[in-house]
């Protein structure tokens, strides 16, 4: 821990891209030179003041950062315990935290002379963010999206097309997010010269998990000063909570607090219909075991023979059988806690946020909010919880209507 002055949770990954045993560079030889070049260019960029000046300018004027830190008074009163703040990353341009990372990767891609950007997307938020930034910079954009997700996230598919992106429905495998990532990797291995793969979460081969975390860390950095200065709390939060699919919004909130032992860190996985042997969930840490997929070692949902299983969740953004390797490491070291929330619990939290705060949340942060609802009542009133409201729910209203038995056509 940080207090002994020797060990820190913020020094990873090591030179091999490992967080403990997790992470690494498990890619085909064709891609190896590309990720080594990316690592070299990113290592240079992250210490280059002109890179961050460009980021800061776009974060402020294009994305709308800093996103507000909002005291959810009615929700706090309703739950009757801890004081609840929401980090309003759903107010970013494109409606989620995804654009924080996309901007960083696209600026890097431009500096590397790449002219074609590919991305995978689940709920479509990362695809929309990538299409948006590509439109802004006049870059060709190709987004791989599982055929099943294309169907359940139709509004985002149309947005990407309006923004000039080509959306390729993925039918290989089972046509889900992991298959979209497979097809994006197949594209990259084919188009090695001009193409940059913009990964949407803290997973993939090194340096992606660290790079995406660094770009998303703006979330936690803002929370630190907003809570202390702007909200006049003059201190750190007691608990930070975020939802996890691959885990980028969570890593962005958690990372700046890793060496503050007083801050309790909780990641919320998608429990689907319940974390049990029916495997109808996406809780990789609670229901999976270590394995190797998509360039990194991490916790994976898999069968006894090492075949990857499909995740299941009401939320397309959490529907991934793995989790970022740094989360796997934080889990094993005990620095962060990981829990799961079911579809039903997330739906309840979704509705509560709408009615009490006038905020329609995405189904992803609804999972984080559902866990806040579980723990806040039992905590003292001076206990500060910050949850990451990482996306807005416009894209999910059709899914929610269906689950609530509402016919939108009427």
Partner 1 sequence: MTRIDDTFARLKREGKKAFVSYIMGGDPDVATSLAVMKGLPAAGVDIIELGMPFTDPMADGPTIQLAGQRALDKGMTMDAVLEMVRAFRAGDATTPIVLMGYYNPIYSRGVERFLTEAKEAGIDGLIVVDLPPEEDDELCIPAQKAGINFIRLATPTTDAKRLPKVLQNTSGFVYYVSITGITGAGAAQAGDVAPEVARIKAATDLPVIVGFGITTPDQARAIAGVADGCVVGSAIVKDIGAGKPVAEVLANVAALAGGAHAA
By CB under 8 A, name the binding residues for partner 1: 16, 24-34, 172-173, 178-179, 182, 185-186, 189-192, 291-295, 297, 300, 302, 304-308
Q: Which is nearer to partner 1, 24 or 247 (CB)?
A: 24
The two structure tokens encoding residue 16:
């091999």
Return the structure tokens found at 383.
């206990």
| Closest residue by Cα to residue 90 from 398, 296, 391, 399 | 391
Q: Specify the residue, 159 or 281, whose C-beta has the smaller distance to partner 1.
A: 281
Residue with tokens 């992250």, as numbered in its chain: 46
Q: Compute the least distance from the CB of residue 309 to partner 1, in Å.
A: 8
Nearest to 266 by CA among 381, 380, 389, 372: 372
Q: How far, in Å, CA of 71 to CA of 64, rounded?
A: 19
Shortest distance (Å) from residue 29 CB to partner 1: 5
For the CB of residue 190, give the shortest distance to partner 1 in the complex, in Å.
4
Minimum CB distance to partner 1 smaller for 50 or for 307: 307
Residues 390, 90: contact at Cβ < 8 Å?
A: yes
Find the shortest distance in angstroms from Cβ 397 to partner 1: 32
Phi, psi of 234 (to 5 degrees): 65, 20
| 140 beta partners | 116
Query: Token pair of 330, please?
Result: 């934080």
Cβ 168 to partner 1 shortest distance, Å: 14
Give how far the C-alpha of residue 256 lies from the chain's centroid of Cα atoms, to the nearest Å: 16
Whichever of 29 and 277 has its CB closer to partner 1, that residue is 29
* 148 versus 159: smaller Cβ distance to partner 1: 148
Nearer of residues 15 and 277 to partner 1, judged by Cβ: 15
Least Å distance, CB 302 to partner 1, is 7
Cis upstream peptide for 152 (omega within 30°): no
Give the separation between CA 156 and CA 56, rounded to whole angstroms.
Answer: 27
């Amino acid at each position: 821990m940080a207090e002994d002055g020797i060990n820190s949770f913020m020094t990873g990954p090591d030179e091999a891209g490992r967080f403990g045993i997790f992470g690494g560079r498990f890619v085909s030889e064709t891609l190896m030179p590309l990720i080594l070049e990316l690592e070299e260019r990113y290592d240079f960029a992250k210490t280059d003041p002109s890179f961050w000046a460009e980021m800061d300018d776009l974060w402020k004027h294009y994305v709308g950062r800093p996103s507000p830190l909002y005291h959810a008074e009615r929700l706090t009163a309703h739950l009757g315990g801890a004081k609840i703040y929401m980090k309003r990353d759903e107010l970013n341009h494109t409606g989620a935290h995804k654009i924080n990372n996309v901007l960083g990767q696209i600026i890097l891609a431009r500096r590397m002379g790449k002219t074609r950007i590919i991305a995978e997307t689940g709920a479509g938020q990362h695809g929309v963010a990538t299409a948006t930034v590509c439109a802004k910079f006049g870059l060709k954009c190709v987004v791989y999206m599982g055929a099943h997700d294309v169907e359940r996230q139709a509004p985002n598919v149309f947005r990407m097309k309006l923004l000039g992106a080509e959306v390729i429905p993925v039918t290989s495998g089972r046509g889900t997010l992991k298959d979209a990532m497979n097809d994006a990797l197949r594209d990259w291995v084919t188009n090695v010269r001009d193409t940059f793969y913009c990964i949407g979460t803290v997973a993939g081969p090194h340096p992606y998990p660290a790079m995406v975390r660094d770009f998303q860390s703006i979330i936690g950095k803002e929370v630190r000063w907003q809570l202390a200065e702007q909200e006049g709390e003059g201190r750190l939060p007691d608990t930070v909570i975020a939802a996890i699919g691959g885990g980028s919004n969570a890593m962005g909130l958690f990372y700046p607090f890793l060496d503050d032992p007083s801050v309790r860190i909780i990641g919320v996985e998608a429990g689907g219909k319940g974390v049990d042997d029916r495997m109808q969930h996406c809780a990789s840490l609670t229901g999976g075991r270590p394995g190797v997929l998509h360039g990194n070692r991490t916790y994976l949902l898999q069968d006894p023979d090492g075949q990857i299983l499909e995740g299941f969740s009401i939320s397309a953004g959490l529907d991934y059988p793995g989790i970022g390797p740094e989360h796997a490491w934080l889990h094993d070291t005990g620095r962060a806690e990981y829990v799961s929330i079911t579809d039903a619990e997330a739906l309840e939290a979704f509705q509560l946020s709408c009615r009490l705060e006038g905020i329609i949340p995405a189904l992803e942060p609804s999972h984080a909010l559902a866990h806040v609802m579980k723990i806040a009542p039992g905590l003292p009133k001076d206990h500060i919880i910050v949850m990451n409201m990482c996306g807005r729910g416009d894209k999910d209203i059709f899914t929610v209507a269906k689950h609530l038995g509402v016919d939108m056509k009427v």
